[in-house]
Amino acid sequence: MTTITMAGALNAALRDALRDDPRVLVFGEDVGRLGGVFRVTDGLQATFGTERVFDTPLAESGIAAIALGLAIKGFRPVAEMQFDAFSYPAFEQVTSNIAKYHLRTLGACNMQLVIRIPYGGNIGAVEQHSESPETYYVHTAGLKVVTPATPADAYGLLTAAIRDPDPVIFLEPKARYWSRQELDLPLPPQPLDRARIVRSGKDATIIAYGPTVQVALAAAEMGEQEGMSLEVVDLRSLSPLDMDTISASVRKTRRAVVVHEAPVFMGLGAEIAARLMHDLFDALAAPVERVGSATVPYPPARYEKLFLPDADRVLEAVDRTREY
């Protein structure tokens, strides 16, 4: 066992993919000599050369589009968008072309590519380096959207994403890049459509993903001290949504709180709450609660601790479901 960070686990997954499949390419802004602004691609160009790991011009739409072209040619591109809000110039390519190309070519052209996007806040950065754009992507048919919460899942999900024949938006919670875990790599690939129960409980279910899984676990710890038994579900896949796992948990606990950094308004919590209301109407003991951010632009960094969900806000939401 070695202690490895999430950034290190992602690096190892890329390294192993480059080693195992000669068609895998890694490219983006500053991913070559620098190793990426978060060092996720550190050392890859030195090992695999400038044809397989390369810097591109500073143009995200072009990066996504050449990934599409390379995928037609039979490569397996893993493209990096430097920051969440910097993925927006590529949005048209991702939603109008990458997501639809398999359909548009009678299934002949697999879009076997991964677009990695560091996302989320809590790093004291400017607004465009702190956003949670997942809802934009999950609302587009033809994309798979996943996000790891741990180094182990970072390795397992990225490995699976690179091997999957469909386009995967791979959201990396940047505040968790330096979180550590004892691991023996390599790990097996993880399914791209399965949530995971990361803590068992019986009084309420906290549904989280990416950066908020840690928040949910912290809330569950605090809740335990107050005599509550809280279950935590890590979605891992945002599209498709593993409602089987979510529903099974909520059927048991009868109370649900969804937690994400993205604005509550039209966030993933809205879909999950609607589905739980529809599927488990009689089983629910209280309305589904949502904890997220306000409908304002990501605030200046000095406000972000107040803006983002924390364990206290999650527990307050749990209390509301228990007091209903």
Q: How far is the CB of 215 from another protein (least distance, A)?
A: 26
Q: How far is the CB of 73 from another protein (least distance, A)?
A: 3
Q: How far is the CB of 107 from another protein (least distance, A)?
A: 4
The token pair that represents 139 in the structure block: 């609302």
Closer residue to another protein, CB minimum distance, 62 or 287:
62
Let me know if 102 is a catalytic residue: no
Neighbours of 96 (CB within 10 A): 11
Closer residue to another protein, CB minimum distance, 82 or 122:
82
Residues with Cβ within 8 Å of 132's Cβ and at least 6 positions away in sequence, in order, are 84, 119, 120, 121, 260, 261, 262, 293
Closer residue to another protein, CB minimum distance, 19 or 322:
19
Terminal alpha carbon distance of the chain: 46
List the catalytic residue out of 102, 129, 260, 278: 129
**Euclidean distance between CA atoms 262 and 266, whole angstroms:** 9
Whether omega before 22 lies within 30 degrees of 0, making that bond cis, reads no
Asked if 159 contacts 170 with a C-beta cutoff of 8 angstroms, the reply is: no
Question: Which spans of this chain sit near another protein (rule: CB under 8 A)?
Answer: 25, 51, 56-57, 59, 61-62, 65-75, 89, 92-93, 96-97, 100-110, 112, 141-142, 144, 164-166, 192-193, 240-241, 243
Where helices occur in 73-121 by DSSP H, the ranges are 91-92, 101-104
Q: How far is the CB of 110 from another protein (least distance, A)?
A: 5
Q: How far is the CB of 75 from another protein (least distance, A)?
A: 6
Closer residue to another protein, CB minimum distance, 65 or 233:
65
Closer residue to another protein, CB minimum distance, 238 or 288:
238
**Euclidean distance between CA atoms 311 and 232, whole angstroms:** 13
Give all strands of the β-sheet with 24-28 in edge-to-edge order: 53-55, 24-28, 76-80, 114-119, 168-173, 144-146, 237-239
Q: Where in the sequence numbering do the catalytic residues fall?
A: 129
